[in-house]
Chains A and B, each alone.
Chain A
């Protein structure tokens, strides 16, 4: 039982990353009807920006002999990195996707793939082959709750993810721009005709999604400090699967599916030899898709890729 709970805790943490990244995919997919395959790499960029920002802050603090508490640095890092990475996302949209707005969606998908490769290569060019290590901002503290070991980091990660998801939900449900995004998810063609500036919505959607991915990146760096340029690939594609599993345009679905994927991976790895993890996890997903081909909350709407 304790091992089950232990795994549950780990699954929550692991699933948080998938959920946050999947949200970005799902928003772009829901509002703009396209997939941004560079999204996983934006997660990576966010982590690196976080590394850069926090290292700079710590260095500056050391230079001026100010003692900055770790949690303050972390909070500032997250906020700043989210802000900066959102610009990266908006730039990607501006360069890669806006010119292709009328084009077949598959072409935009390929463009996204290519942008992702450029981001990875750019990273390699800047940092070289050596991996960077995210600075340790929080002292690890482990709590023992009846045999289940929970670290403060895990709590922080899950808490932050849920908080961000809540904030996103509030934004989408209660603000004018959020309403515009929801409207576009319903009817992509008509809403711009009603005076809603599609360029702004697109930039906003990408910006929000990228900010969430950046947060995921920093939280990831907190738990697994060693970063590498290709860290976004696998996460990206798996989060993509989660976004679709959650159903077209459903933010709640994406979050749930992200957590579900996390659960599946952790529990499968706990029960079976770890090499079988992907095999079983994806077989389960295939099974889910066979019985619910439109995901959890997707309408029965076959999105066709028009050539």
Chain B
């Protein structure tokens, strides 16, 4: 979805020009440069982090870039800042700036091999970064996994609320279906449990069957989505909103009444299969398939149905099928996210999937940006980070975060990064070329 070629603005304040020049240097660093730089930083933290932290007066490595420290114990701010500068800013800065031409050359070489190979290399680097970063503490590991799951949730909700343009409140319900389906399957087949008895299959085989369990969980959620998708043929907008809301209440109440799944007390004993690499892989699969979908003509049909359904019909777009696919595909990934969530927390209860969760996912989608893969990633990561970082503020966290969101709504009503398309090849290529109009098949931002 390109806009008409942007021409540089002719009048800019001198401050803005200087600011742009400063960051302009960074804009010439290719993605691989950033990845290598950040990898160096986290490896450095692995090697000398603990020692250095004590050196600057911190009792341990700041878990969340020092946000928690800064807000809770201001006396440690100077130490934290020094830590951040040395361990993070320094390696990243050196490698990106000094190594700019080298990394650009590397990016150039990578641009010559097939895109998917290059993408995999970048993903591997990204994974290494996350791995080393999370290795420092269990808290980091948990936050990271939950953030990746949040990305999946946000992306899947964006399909319905952003691309298809409905106001769907049923996502917690899809998540719940997936969470419980996955949990029950795992426990029934692989765990010794009070209610379900001995495992039916050898527990050692569990992790290998886990992907199948997740997919089944997604399918359960997708079938559940039919309850919302079919009414969407006849009604739209506000009426569909309450249908989806009723759906959410029904699912929640259904689970609360199923004693065999623990009812309101919840369900536990899920095996510890949702480790960081597993969650990471699923999250990347989610991003990849959803991006593929929304850039295809089949996926863009969602937009056509949203903006002018009558015209879409007249242009041979099967609007019913489009709506069904939209809802079911979104529910599928919400279900998988739910299944992963259940196995990360190793406990689920129906209370998790109510109004609070609804407000959370809606906030993430609208904050990050509607109709945009990048927007959803930004929204999920940003929201989660804020939520964790502002934890020391306790109650006031829930005044600051909503206020922030209101501000975003006021100035960018569709979200921070809305209606922007994700072009993988464009993101991976070297950034020191003057030619910024390289297209690669699909229209891009």
Contacts and interface: CB of A to CB of B under 8 A. Distances in A.
Interface of B is mostly: helix
A115 B231 CA distance: 30
B377 to A, nearest CB: 19
B75 to A, nearest CB: 25
A121 B395 contact: yes
Contact of B239 (A273, A278, A293): A293
B165 A305 contact: yes
B246 interface: yes
Interface stretch (B97-105, B115-123, B269-277, B405-413): B405-413
Given A115-B406, A278-B252, A307-B370, A107 B257 contact: no
Contacts of B247: 282, 286
Most buried by A among B241, B243, B246: B246
B402 A114 contact: yes
B395 A125 contact: yes
A250 to B, nearest CB: 13
A21 interface: no
Interface stretch (B188-196, B313-321, B355-363, B424-432): B355-363
B45 interface: no
A124 B254 CA distance: 31
Contact of A241 (B166, B246, B306): B246
A108 B403 CA distance: 13
B237 interface: yes
Given A99-B410, A121-B395, A113 B242 contact: no
A289 B239 contact: yes
Contact of A118 (B167, B236, B359, B402): B402
A100 interface: yes
Contacts of A285: 242, 246
Contacts of A125: 395-396, 399
A295 interface: yes
A60 interface: no
B245 interface: yes
Contacts of A234: 355
Interface string B366-408: 1000110000000000000000000000011011001101100
B359 A117 contact: yes
Interface in A94-135: 96, 99-100, 103-104, 106-111, 113-115, 117-118, 120-122, 124-125
Contacts of A100: 409-410, 413
A19 B320 CA distance: 35
Most buried by A among B238, B245, B247, B399: B238
B24 to A, nearest CB: 32
Nearest to B231: A290
Nearest to A279: B253
A100 B403 CA distance: 15
B399 A121 contact: yes
A110 B366 contact: yes
B366 A107 contact: yes
A286 B243 contact: yes
Contacts of A108: 409
A289 B243 contact: yes
Given A122-B399, A293-B231, A237 B363 contact: no
Contact of A286 (B246, B307, B362): B246
A203 to B, nearest CB: 19
A115 B242 contact: no
B293 interface: no
B235 A282 contact: no
A304 B165 CA distance: 9
A248 B395 CA distance: 37
B173 to A, nearest CB: 11
A242 to B, nearest CB: 9
Nearest to B306: A307
Contacts of B243: 286, 289
A283 interface: yes
B398 A117 contact: yes
B395 A113 contact: no
Contacts of A304: 165, 236-237
A234 B414 CA distance: 27
Contacts of B413: 100, 103-104, 107
Q: Which 3 A-B pairs have the closest CB atoms?
A: A279-B253, A114-B402, A103-B413
26 contacts: A100-B410, A106-B366, A107-B414, A109-B167, A110-B409, A111-B409, A115-B402, A117-B402, A118-B399, A120-B398, A122-B399, A125-B396, A237-B355, A241-B242, A245-B242, A276-B253, A276-B257, A278-B249, A282-B247, A283-B246, A285-B242, A293-B235, A303-B236, A303-B238, A304-B236, A304-B237
Interface of A: 29, 35, 96, 99-100, 103-104, 106-111, 113-115, 117-118, 120-122, 124-125, 233-234, 237, 240-241, 244-245, 248, 273, 275-279, 282-283, 285-286, 289-290, 293-295, 302-305, 307
